[in-house]
Amino acid sequence: MPVTQADVARRAGVSQRTVSNVVNKFPHVSADVVARVTEAIEALGYTPSHAARSLRLGRSGLLQLVVPELDVPYFAELARGVVKCAEERGFGVMVRQTLGDRERERDALEGPAAEHAEGTILSAVGSIEDILATGRGRSPVVLIGERTGMGLVDHIGIDDTAAAAEATRHLVETGRRRVAFIGADPADSLRMAELRLRGYEQALTSAGLPFDETLVVRTRSYHRKDGEEAMAALLALGPDRRPDGVFCATDLLALGALRTARTSGVAVPTELALVGFDGLEEGEYSAPTLSTVAPDKAEIARVAVETLLARIAARAGVEDEPPAQDLLIAFDLVVRESSRAV
């Protein structure tokens, strides 16, 4: 006769639900309980039937990760971390892209894939408060990046304002006095851009430097080409008005700006210092290497997965469901060749 979950529970002195929690690698199970259940599983030779468990509990064993653009390195690196963490906990991941389209974001939360997945990790571009407010009963949602949920669901991210201020302050401390910002949002609807611009302005004010609107460049998007064009506009201001330092809202903007500076004969960092944002691996191999604000993407992925699994467990009645949380993850300012003091 095959060993059952009930047999494991009796040997470990716990409930069958606790055995299920350990098998499914739900967080918030004490180390002592995990050890006892693991010992019982190994001693009895218990093998969980994932297919039977899914049918019995109505579970798919799948999470959904929804990001704006899969070919943007930041989201690719983040997806790798989410998939790794989910697989370590026995879950597969469906990855979807929205291209920043609101209806695609709605479908991700309300369409067939959302019904199949046990929960969703979403990076939304605009506000989705109205979509979330009408979605009672849907599977759990955790937001990463943009704070677009207005406290209705868990959010995992970094302090964009503080990070931008630190990057700008670094440029000022290396002797730069005309520091530009590339990446303001033309529609003023992107929260990330607003917060990073705010941090940039705060750092200038703290340093006693004026906030010059002519040094703030709005971009249609946040890719390399946009950075190229923005830097060309700044250099066109002329020798007396153009910047000697530039903070870019993303690394891709900074890499594009770096190319324009190089092709225009502007020496980096001697004449112009550059700092990006996102901590992309690509910046380690640019010439010169790129200084950047580096969010702890591995930690963002880990906390997002564990927070989502805790919500799934709460919905299943395994745990009490706490109120929505806004969890801040650490970041580092990585100083490389593009902004070192001359």
Same domain for 109 and 15, yes or no, is no
Residue with token string 């971009």: 219
Same domain for 182 and 282, yes or no, is yes
- Report if residue 223 sits inside a domain: yes
Strands 154-157 and 141-144: parallel
Q: Give me the pLDDT at residue 52, please.
A: 43
How far apart are alpha carbons 252 and 226 in whole angstroms? 9
How far apart are alpha carbons 251 and 134 in whole angstroms? 36
Residue where one domain finishes, among candidates 56, 75, 90 = 56
Same domain for 167 and 290, yes or no, is yes
Same domain for 64 and 38, yes or no, is no
Same domain for 285 and 301, yes or no, is no
Backbone φ and ψ for 35, nearest 5 degrees, come out as: -65, -45
Q: Give me the pLDDT at residue 22, please.
A: 80
Same domain for 212 and 170, yes or no, is yes
How far apart are alpha carbons 323 and 149 in whole angstroms? 13
Q: Give me the pLDDT at residue 62, please.
A: 93
∠ CA 332-335-341 to the nearest 5 degrees? Answer: 140
∠ CA 312-310-132 to the nearest 5 degrees? Answer: 60
Q: How far apart are the first and last CA of the chain?
A: 75
Strands 154-157 and 326-328: parallel
Q: In what order do the strands lie in the sheet with 326-328?
A: 92-97, 62-67, 120-122, 141-144, 154-157, 326-328
- Report if residue 96 sits inside a domain: yes
- Report if residue 284 sits inside a domain: yes
- Report if residue 340 sits inside a domain: no
Q: How many CB atoms are closer than 10 A to CB 196?
A: 28
Q: How many CB atoms are closer than 10 A to CB 158?
A: 21
Domain, as residue range, for 245: 160-295
Same domain for 151 and 165, yes or no, is no
Q: Identify the H or E element spanning 246.
A: strand 245-248
Same domain for 266 and 317, yes or no, is no
Q: Give me the pLDDT at residue 54, please.
A: 44
Same domain for 211 and 134, yes or no, is no
- Report if residue 336 sits inside a domain: no
- Report if residue 335 sits inside a domain: no
Report helix angle 251-263 to 224-235, nearest 10.
50
DSSP state of 121: E
> Which CATH number belongs to the domain containing residue 33 in this structure?
1.10.260.40
- Report if residue 27 sits inside a domain: yes
How far apart are alpha carbons 244 and 225 in whole angstroms? 21
- Report if residue 339 sits inside a domain: no
186 three-state secondary structure: coil
Same domain for 213 and 323, yes or no, is no
Q: Give me the pLDDT at residue 121, please.
A: 96
Q: Residues 141, 162: contact at Cβ < 8 Å? A: no
Q: In which region does residue 265 sit, left (phi positive, over 0), alpha (psi from -120 to 50) or beta (all else)?
A: left
Token pair in block for residue 49: 């039937």
Token pair in block for residue 295: 């969010």
In angstroms and rounded to an integer, the radius of gyration of the C-alpha atoms of the chain is: 24
Q: Give me the pLDDT at residue 55, please.
A: 38
Same domain for 27 and 96, yes or no, is no
> Which CATH number belongs to the domain containing residue 108 in this structure?
3.40.50.2300
Same domain for 302 and 286, yes or no, is no
Render each residue's pLDDT in the chain as its tens digit; 342 residues.
667 778 888 888 988 778 877 876 666 678 888 889 888 888 888 876 543 444 344 467 899 999 999 999 999 999 999 999 999 998 999 999 999 888 998 888 888 877 789 999 999 887 777 777 765 557 899 999 877 656 789 999 999 999 999 999 999 999 999 999 999 998 877 889 999 999 999 999 999 999 999 999 999 999 999 999 999 999 999 888 999 999 999 999 999 999 999 999 999 999 999 999 999 999 999 999 999 999 999 999 999 999 999 988 887 765 567 788 999 999 999 999 999 987
How far apart are alpha carbons 245 and 109 in whole angstroms? 41
How many domains does the chain divide into?
3
